Amino acid sequence: MSTDKNSSEESNVSAVDLVAANKANTQQQFGRGTTVGTATASQAIKALWHENGKKLSLKRYARKLLADGNAVAQEWFSNKAGGTNAARSDQNKAKAQLASQASKGKKKA
């Protein structure tokens, strides 16, 4: 069991490193000189899930990682909650309201 725990800790560290490298817009070298883009939080957590947690659903596995304080799981849940979505600007809100009013006016006519 201790070897499984060590391998999962190594996987957690590598996934955290991938997400951190992604934020810095860098690329990492893997294998024999091939350059691979860095993983997003979603890709990293799914890779961890495929390696270690297939007996649980992806969401339950992520919740388990979150309870352990895993940074990738925290970012994944933040992204799922819309943490990376930009808020609508005032100009965009005004455009949407005008389009809605115009659409309602056409339906009434």
**pTM over the 0.75 mark:** no
Question: According to the model, what pLDDT value does residue 1 have?
Answer: 44
User: What are the tens digits of pLDDT across the range 6-55?
Assistant: 444 444 556 656 555 555 544 555 556 566 677 888 999 999 999 987 88
Residues in the chain: 109
If residue 75 lies in a helix (H) or strand (E), which one and from where to where?
helix 71-80
- Report d(CA 75, CA 83) in Å as an integer: 9
**Both tokens assigned to 20:** 């951190």
Question: According to the model, what pLDDT value does residue 66 have?
Answer: 93
Strands 28-30 and 34-36 come out as antiparallel
**Both tokens assigned to 15:** 């996934």
Amino acid identity, position 98? L
Domain ranges for the chain, please list them.
Answer: 2-108
